[in-house]
């Protein structure tokens, strides 16, 4: 569901979609020609729910914004605060996510063109989308927000949102060009991230120290890794993600210490960027193996600046294609119904459904010579039966407060359904038949 809202001040009341209330705020009360300014996208999340970081973890979609800006305006990348690790139990199937609960504020830099007319106003619009999940279901959310700001030649005055921006900057990891890292494939199952701090840096406390790549499907998040410290070097050895393919040529990581990094005045998180300049190098063979191990390295030695994007572009992440679009048919009722109809048509040609269609056609043929009224009653009863079944199923899902489909992430549910399918298959093969005993009882009663 989309929410359309426009305002002409530096802030406005939040607009809520599902479990998330969203608002757009400006750091200043006006803008100046050619001078970059900052907007804040603030999300207030209901208790028990969460949204996602750039790397969402085992599953999820990061928050994104698609801008519709006036001619000549450019928007930078959406900045994410450092994430928190959480575990969600979907019916016995645990998934680890990286994201946010409570409140989260994303910042974005906007650069106006140099030829704005003083005394006019400029409206900046964006379509925001996010995925909100609790321990039972995930629901996509969205809002269309606009903010109108006056153009002035004088410097902008701080707005009433100054505290919001200060708090947001305090938790957004700052890129540290003096910190470097490399990641190496150590064997078939593990990756080792070696982080080199500057020589004058103090070693951070190991307890509570976390490290996450900004790219998904790199490391297994099931258990937080414990680093080892040698002089100014940190080493995290972690298992590869289940769907790990290969190391990207460029990848940023975030180093988090809730107690603060002593060499950076207590900053809780930093971002270390990678450079594709380094070449893979061979690793020494393990003592217990006769063949050499596969070893690839990505190093980090320079910051990656925020890239401005066109005025009508989407802030997105190439490593998470699912974030590009929630539905190709939109989120309107018509679009959802059409997508459901198309999915049903495709389902009819699947091997599990297509043979049943032939049985239904044979049923139609068997009724070909029946009375027309009887055929209509049969068709109506068939249709009403299907509708009542799915209405009852929807009522059960709503009453339980869960999402349909998540059950198939539960091993117990999958085993039960497998047993049912096997039993039906054996019945169709004639190993045994359902209802035979009841049929014989009915036959005896009629004698």
* Residue 5 reports pLDDT greater than 60: no
* Residue 285 reports pLDDT greater than 50: no
Alpha-carbon span 341 to 351, nearest angstrom: 18
pLDDT per position as a tens digit, 206-246: 788 999 999 999 999 988 888 888 878 899 999 999 888 88
Q: What is the average pLDDT across 295-322? A: 43
* Residue 289 reports pLDDT greater than 80: no
pLDDT per position as a tens digit, 405-422: 666 766 788 899 899 989
Residues 6+ apart with CB under 8 A from 410: 90, 91, 92, 93
pLDDT bucket at 249, cuts 50 / 70 / 90: confident
What pLDDT shows up at residue 314? Answer: 45
The tokens 């003096």 sit on which residue? 178
C-alpha count within 13 angstroms, C-beta hemisphere, residue 90: 21
**First and final CA of the chain: distance in angstroms?**
62
350: helix, strand or coil: coil
Q: Which domains does the chain have, with CATH numbers?
A: 4-171+307-323 (2.60.40.10), 178-300 (no CATH), 355-446 (no CATH)
For the ranges 102-116, 119-133, 191-205, 279-293, which has the lowest average pLDDT?
A: 279-293
Q: What is the average pLDDT across 185-207? A: 85
What pLDDT shows up at residue 444? Answer: 53
Nearest C-alpha neighbor of 147 from the set 165, 127, 122: 122
For the ranges 247-261, 278-292, 367-381, which has the lowest average pLDDT?
A: 278-292
Give whole-number Cα distances, 150 to 10, 26, 33, 258, 313, in Å.
10, 11, 11, 40, 23
Alpha-carbon span 104 to 43, nearest angstrom: 5
Alpha-carbon span 278 to 236, nearest angstrom: 20
What pLDDT shows up at residue 122? Answer: 94
Alpha-carbon span 424 to 428, nearest angstrom: 6
More confident residue, 235 or 362: 235
Alpha-carbon span 222 to 227, nearest angstrom: 16
């Amino acid at each position: 569901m989309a929410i359309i809202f426009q305002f002409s001040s530096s802030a406005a009341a939040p607009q809520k979609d599902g479990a998330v209330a969203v608002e757009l705020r400006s750091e200043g009360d006006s803008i100046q020609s050619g001078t970059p300014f900052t907007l804040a996208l603030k999300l207030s999340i209901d208790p028990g729910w969460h949204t996602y970081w750039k790397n969402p973890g085992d599953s999820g979609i990061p928050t994104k914004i698609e801008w519709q800006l006036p001619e000549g305006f450019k928007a930078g990348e959406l900045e994410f605060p450092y994430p928190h690790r959480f575990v969600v139990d979907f019916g016995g199937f645990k998934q680890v996510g990286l994201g946010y609960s409570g409140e989260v504020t994303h910042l974005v830099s906007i650069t106006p063109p140099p030829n704005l007319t003083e005394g006019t106003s400029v409206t900046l619009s964006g379509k925001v989308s996010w995925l909100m999940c609790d321990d039972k279901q995930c629901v996509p959310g969205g809002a269309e927000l606009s903010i109108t700001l006056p153009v002035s030649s004088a410097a902008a005055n701080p707005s009433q949102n100054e505290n919001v921006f200060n708090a947001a900057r305090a938790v957004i990891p700052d890129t540290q060009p003096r910190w470097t890292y490399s990641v190496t494939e150590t064997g078939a199952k593990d990756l080792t991230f070696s982080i080199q701090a500057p020589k004058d840096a103090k070693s951070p406390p190991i307890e509570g120290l976390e490290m996450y790549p900004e790219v998904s499907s790199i490391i297994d998040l099931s258990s937080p890794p414990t680093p080892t410290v040698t002089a100014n070097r940190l080493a995290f050895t972690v298992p590869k993600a289940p769907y790990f393919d290969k190391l990207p040529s460029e990848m940023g990581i975030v180093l988090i210490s809730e107690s603060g990094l002593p060499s950076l005045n207590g900053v809780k998180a930093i971002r270390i960027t990678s450079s594709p300049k380094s070449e893979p190098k061979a690793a020494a063979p393990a003592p217990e193996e006769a063949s050499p191990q596969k070893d690839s390295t990505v190093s980090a030695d320079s910051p990656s600046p925020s890239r401005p994007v066109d005025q009508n572009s989407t802030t997105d992440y190439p490593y998470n294609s699912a974030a590009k679009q929630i539905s190709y048919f939109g989120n309107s009722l018509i679009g959802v119904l059409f997508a459901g109809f198309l999915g049903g048509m495709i389902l009819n040609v699947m091997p599990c459904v297509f043979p049943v269609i032939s049985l239904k056609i044979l049923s139609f043929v068997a009724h070909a010579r029946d009375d027309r009224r009887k055929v209509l009653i049969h068709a109506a009863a068939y249709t009403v039966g299907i509708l009542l079944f799915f209405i009852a199923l929807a009522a059960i899902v709503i009453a339980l407060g869960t999402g349909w489909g998540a059950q198939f992430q539960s091993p117990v549910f999958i085993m039960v359904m497998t047993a049912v399918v096997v039993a039906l298959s054996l019945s169709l093969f004639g190993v045994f038949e359902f209802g035979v005993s009841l049929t014989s009882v009915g036959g005896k009663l009629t004698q």
